[in-house]
Structure 1
Amino acid sequence: MPPLLSSLSTLVMYLRRQQHSSFLSLSRAAGSAEAWRLLCHSSLALLILYNRHRECEVAKLTIQDYRDRNSVSPSDASLSPFERHVLCHLTRVGVLGKRGRVQPLILPPHSEACLDLLLKTSADVGVDPESPYVFSRPYHSPATPLRGTDLLRSLARTSGAKNPTTLTAPRARRQVAILTQLLLLEEGERAPGAAAKRLEDFLQREYHVTQSCTRIGQDPALMNCVGRVVLYGEREGVLFRGMSLQHICLELDVMSGNSADSFSEDSDGEGNENKERAEVVKKRAPSNRGPPPKKGNSPRLSPATPSPLKRRSSQVKSGKRGVLKRPWSEAERVAVETHLKRNIMELRVPAKADCERCLQHCPLLVSNQRDWRAIKFYCHNRIQLLRKQGRREGNAAAVC
C-alpha cells in the first residue's frame, strides 16, 4: 500500500470507529459532553477529508445552510466529473467560499444522522443557542467555531498514522479527498455493487478504460491506480484515452521520472554526470559584459533552451511533401528521452530495434500514432542540438 493511502486509511478508519461509538453513547445519554465532543470532532474531520475545500470553509458550515441542503443541485458545475457521476447520490450543502461564492459541500455517508444528533443535543452540553454554526464549541463565544486545521492535525497524530503531516498538506488536499471518497465508496449503499458500477461507467466514459471495480475496497493497488488516474485527468486533461490502468500508471511513472527502464543500473551515474555538465555549462557561460551585438543582427536564443513558443505556435504544420507534422507533447518527449537516454548521451542515433523496444515500453507513443521512424528522427534532432551546443561551448572556451 502506498504511504499516503496507508496513512489516510488508518486515519479514516479511526474516525469512523470514533464517530460510531460516540453516536451510540450520545444517543443513550443526551447530556454527555465527552460523547458530543468526540462526535463533533470526528464528523468535522471526515467532512474535511471528504471534500476539497479549505478547512476553515468546512468548519464554518452554518445551521441554516445545513437545513437548506436539499435545495443544492446534485449536478453542480463546480464539482469535479468524478464527484458528479460517482457521488451523485450523496447530499450537498452550500457553503460560502472564496470571493463570496457558494460552493457545494458533499456530506459523507452516515453524516446526516450524526449532524442531526449534534444539533439536537447541542443545548444540553453548553453550546450557545445563538451560535450559527453546526460545529460550535461549548462554553465559548457563538462567533468562534472549531478550527478545522488544528483539529485535523491533532487527530492525524493520535490515530497512529505513519505520515500524519502529509495528510494535512495543502498541496495534497485534492488527492486526499479523492482517496477518501474511494475508501468510503461502498458505505451507505442500498444496492450492493451500485457504487462500483458507477465508477466503472465513469472510467469508461471519461478515459475509455474497461476495469472491474467490484473489489476496489479490498484492493489497495487498484484504489491507488484509480485515484492517480482521476487526479491526473482532472489536472492535466485526458492524455491516456483507451489505455489500461496499469499502462496509464506506467506512463505517469515515466513522466515523473520514477520508471525503471533498461538502463536503471547506470541511472545514478548518468544523473551525476548531468549535474556536473550543468555546473560546467554555468561556469563557462559568457558574462553580460561582452561586446555589444553588431547592428543588423537580431539576438538569437541559445540552442540549449529552445523556446516553447516556437514549438507550440501552431499545432499542425504542413511539410514539404504535404505531410502533417504534429509537435511532441511533454509526456512523449519525457518517455523517449527516458528510454533512449544512453543513445542521446552518447550522441548515437538509435537503431530500428531500439526504437521498437521504446514503443513496447511506452504505450502512449503507440496510442498517439508514433512509429519507430518518428522516434529515430526525434533522437537525431536532439543529438544535433547537443552537438551544436557542444561546439558553441568549445568556441566560447577557446575565446576565454
Structure 2
Amino acid sequence: MLFNRRRQGEISKMKIKEVDKIDTMQKDSNVVKALSNLEQRLCKVLSRVEIVGKKGRLVPVLMTYEMREWITLLLEGRQDLGAVHEENEFVFARSFYGSKGHLRACDSLRKYSQLCGAKYPETLTGTQLRKQLATLSQLLCLKENEMDMVANFLGHDLKIHREYYRLPMEIMQVAKVSKLLLAMEKGGSALAQGQSLDDIPIVDEEIDQSNISTEEEEGEGTEDQLTAIKRSKADKPHPAGKQCKKKKTVTKRPWTEEQKAAVNRHLHHFMVLNQLPGKSKIDECISKEPVLSTRSWKNIKDYCRNTMKNQVR
C-alpha cells in the first residue's frame, strides 16, 4: 500500500486468485526492447498484479521481488498452520473465529505509523499518500499521455485528477509565471516558439537584481546581497562638504553541520515545496534546537532561501 499509494480498501481486498495471475514482463518483448536500459531493468525486478478497484475498475499493483517473497510466505503459512478458514479468498485474511473476511489496511497503517516513531504519524494515511503522488506529479510537467498513465494507475479519471490534485495556485504563479515575466522584462529574447514555462532560461543574477524584496533591503536578504548593496552605496560620490557615516561590514559566520541538520529536521518540507517558512515556524525551530541559539530567525530564513536556490541550480 505504501509503495503503490493505493486505496486501503483495494489492497485489503486483494484476492489469492488475483495474485496467482501475477504478471512478469517478457524479456524478448519488442516493447521492452524499445525502453531505456533503466526501464528494462525495472521491468525485470518488478511484477504487476491487477486487482479490483473503486467502481469495479481494474487497477494495477506493482510488486518488488521482496514483496512477492512476502506474499508467497504468507500464503504458505496459512496452509501449514491451518489458522485461516479454507474458504477465505483474501490474501490478507483474518486468522480467527473462522472468519472469511480480511484485515483492514487502514488499521494496520494507523497502528504502525505510531509505533515507528514518525514525527507526523497523522500524515501517514492512505488519502495523504495518494494526494502526495498526485500533487507532486504536477511538478513534472508531464505530457498528456503520461498524466493519463499516472491517473489510471491511481484509479482516477483524468479530469478529476487535474481538478482535485493540483498544486496550490499561489505557488505555481510565483514559481512558474514569474519566469515568463522576468524573460519579458529583459526584452523577450529568451522566449522561443514551442517552449514551456519550465524551458524558459532565467539566470540567477536576474533574480538577485530584479527581485530583491523590501524585506531584504531592510536587512532580511542574504549576507552576500547585503554586502553588495552596501558596497554599491559606498562607491557613489557624495555631495561636497558632507561626511558619510562609516558603513558596517557584515561578518559571515559559516554554518556548522549540526546547525544545518537542525534546520533540515524542522523546515525541510518547506524547502522541498520551494516555500520560505514564516517567522513563527522558524522561532519554533530555534526553541527546539539549542544549537541554533546563536542564529536569528532572519539568518535561518536566508539559509532556507539559499538552499532552495542551490537546488534549482
TM-score by length of 2: 0.42
Could you say which structure has the greater relative contact order, defined with CA pairs below 8 angstroms and 6 or more residues apart?
A: 1
TM-score by length of 1: 0.34
